[in-house]
Structure 1
Amino acid sequence: MPIRFITFALLFLLQLFVPPRAAAATDPYQVGFRTLGQWSADANLRLDVNIWYPSIRPPRELNYAPWTITAARNGKAVEGRFPLLLLSHASPGTRFSYHDIAARLAAYGFVVAAPTHIQDCMNDMSLLFTWKQLESRTRELSGVIDLLLNEAELAASIDANRIGLLGFGAGGAAALLLGGALPDCASWPDYCARAGQQDIYCNRWARDRVNGICRSLPLTKSLADPRIKAIAAVAPGFGMLFSHASFRYFHPPLLLVAAGRDALNRTGLHAGAIARLMNGKARYVSLPGADTGALMSPCPETLAAELPELCRSVSPKERNAIHERMDDALSDFFLHFLGGSNNLPVIPPPPNLTPPTRPQSAPAAPAPKARQRRAR
């Protein structure tokens, strides 16, 4: 079945050693953790969100089977307002899949909110390679901002002027849309000729779905959320949807992180291609030994036994080295742009993409009636 093929391909990951780097500076904050959920019937939007934040309480081991994380459950927050980072997982992930990265960023002084993307996660990939996959992610991520800013206790810890977005895989593509990128499918017609038929996007089932995306374009309304001031896209997918013109209304500073061993979103066709389209305007960091699984937190043993291709694609030593480099790049980028007001970018409102209406032509004047000649 097609979904089995896609799931297998998503778990087909490669291995390569990455030399370790120097450890990051000592973490200044302890990390609190809580969960939040919401269902809005009016918006047809369900949100299940994990939240990490700076806390004054010491961490302890928390069990969210099958995951075990280290944080202070509902720990009292450090006083003050901190930048908010949204974290959008890759399709084989969930809101727990990057918990160590989230905790590290919270320790640096960020509130980190990670939703599980419904129908685009480890347990349900039914939206894979569809326009709804990307559109739903953008709605959910913007919805998380609304949810947190309307929750009194959390809102008290968030600086609403300093919001960033960290996306992995499809989350990276959604992040580009939220930053104002306009997909146009310019590179899709010859993508599979360049990528080869073994590429994940190029089997018949996936190709038909991407064709459906292209039939949905051009957009008549931008998906940009101007509240988002900085974006990091790690091993982003859907590179074939974009062209130079796609980024004419893209305003946030962008960090692109390439996973050199990613068999799903290959660097030259996705992260590297997007960097070229940005004409050097994006920061670019390469992780030569990383693949989809290596970017995630270590799997629980029960999950590793079920998904060894995803969970054991690299050794613990290799994973640590990859995460040190990635954590350094992410923390440097977000602290630079969101850590204070000095480098905070100003994001203009989204452009009006409404197609112009054609002026209606005036109705033709009625033909004059023939004059009746009076009889004599």
Structure 2
Amino acid sequence: MFSRLLCALCLVLLFSAAASAGPVEGVGVRKLEAVDPVERKPMDAVVFFPSPDRTDVTSIGPYQVDASRSAPIGDGRYPLIMVSHGSMGSMWGHHDLASSLARQGYVVVSVTHVGDNFQDTSRIGTAGAIYGRATQISAALSATLDDPALEPHIDRERIGFVGYSAGGTTGLILAGGNPDLARLEGYCAKRSDDRHVCEARGRIGMEGAELGASADARIRSFVLLAPLSVIFPTEGLKSVAAPMSVYVGEKDEELSPEDNALALARDMPSKVSVEVLPNAGHFTFLAPCSPQMREAMPALCTDPPGIDRAALHRVINADIATFFTKTLDVQVR
């Protein structure tokens, strides 16, 4: 697997994702104005984009982000990638992937899901959180396409998605999947040690159930990282046809790979690319931690023995860019 991924890294370093754009020397970052469609209140979102200016690392809270707030966006139109974090996460949880994709010619939008983030857990454990996340991504996508500064630089025909953990659930809904929320109780009866997912024994409150599953046909390609996918029966996946790549850690102790990512690959009506990363855990997919992060949140920053998170991310991030270049039919120089 790693020889193929290293080859992908070499190819990405040689080519830019957008043929019509100028040279990419750095990465810009700015906030995006978006509104939560469920509660009609502001929703935090951030945009990473290719820049013709050289940029350095910026400290943003406990994160060391490879982007500059003052950098301009490069000329031309770029493919767009939407990012959905895991439960109780934030829009900065995958900042290294976002910066990596931006350096390779993508605009990347990452949201903080209202009601399911590290500061606001008001919707966790409800149907509204599960269905609302998908509507939030769609709302952030619309806000991006309506933003007068961003719209001239977005290729509307080339839009992809990356979702981690509960963000994987979000991606499957956006791709046309229809979950059966009752399946989580059966899963948790067998996996009571899945601390976060099964804290309520798999019982999901029906508040917000009227939102229902809402696909977004504008998104053409999906990458799922350690997805929570057990709630999708085979019948609920029959409408999912978009290209999909799934990554899962061999040592994931938060979500069973067998019942989630691997079962998803078996149940999908179309072929899904699945990469099982040896020794990797659930939190290995989060951005490499700064010293401040390691001190504050050691559980999120500690990987199983033998894992170099930063080195592994360089390979995975390059492979994800290659996947989107292929599945979104992006022209390369």
Shared fold, TM over 0.5:
yes
| 1:223 pairs with 2:219 | no
State TM-score, norm by structure 2: 0.85
For the 8 Å contact 2:249–2:276, the answer to whether it is kept is yes
For the 8 Å contact 2:240–2:269, the answer to whether it is kept is no
State TM-score, norm by structure 1: 0.76
| C-alpha distance in structure 1 between counterparts of 2:163 and 2:109, whole Å | 12
Query: Residue type matched to 1:120 in 2?
Result: D
Query: What is the CA-CA distance between 1:234 and the residue it aligns to?
Result: 0.8
2:200 is matched with which residue: 202, 205, 224? 205
| 1:155 pairs with 2:151 | yes
| C-alpha distance in structure 1 between counterparts of 2:75 and 2:320, whole Å | 24
Larger radius of gyration: 1
| C-alpha distance in structure 2 between counterparts of 1:77 and 1:202, whole Å | 39
Residue 138 of structure 1 aligns with which residue?
134
1:220 to 1:340, Cα distance in 2 relative to 1, 3 A? same
Q: Deviation string for 1:321-375 (max 9, x for gaps)?
A: 4213422331121110124389xxxxxxxxxxxxxxxxxxxxxxxxxxxxxxxxx
1:227-246 → structure 2 map (5 Å cutoff): 227-237=218-228, 239-246=229-236
Residue 271 of structure 1 aligns with which residue?
261
Query: Residue type matched to 1:127 in 2?
Result: R
SS of aligned partner of 2:178: coil
SS of aligned partner of 1:106: helix
Q: Unaligned regions of 5+ residues in structure 2, if any? A: 17-23
| C-alpha distance in structure 1 between counterparts of 2:230 and 2:36, whole Å | 33
For the 8 Å contact 2:37–2:136, the answer to whether it is kept is no
For the 8 Å contact 1:183–1:243, the answer to whether it is kept is yes
Residue 274 of structure 2 aligns with which residue?
284
Q: Unaligned regions of 5+ residues in structure 1, if any? A: 1-17, 343-376
1:257 is matched with which residue: 247, 255, 272? 247
Aligned residues with identical type, % of pairs:
27
For the 8 Å contact 1:84–1:163, the answer to whether it is kept is yes
Residue 61 of structure 1 aligns with which residue?
57
1:100 to 1:314, Cα distance in 2 relative to 1, 3 A? farther
For the 8 Å contact 2:50–2:74, the answer to whether it is kept is yes
Of 323-332 and 184-193, deviating more is 184-193
For the 8 Å contact 1:31–1:59, the answer to whether it is kept is yes
Query: Residue type matched to 2:51 in 1?
Result: S
For the 8 Å contact 1:235–1:265, the answer to whether it is kept is yes
For the 8 Å contact 2:84–2:163, the answer to whether it is kept is yes
1:234 to 1:187, Cα distance in 2 relative to 1, 3 A? same
Q: Deviation string for 1:169-208 (max 9, x for gaps)?
A: 0001110001100113574464245x34323378562422
1:90 is matched with which residue: 72, 86, 93? 86
SS of aligned partner of 1:161: strand
| C-alpha distance in structure 2 between counterparts of 1:185 and 1:72, whole Å | 41
Residue 318 of structure 1 aligns with which residue?
308
1:43 to 1:127, Cα distance in 2 relative to 1, 3 A? closer
Q: Deviation string for 1:287-308 (max 9, x for gaps)?
A: 1222232111122323321211
Query: Residue type matched to 1:205 in 2?
Result: A
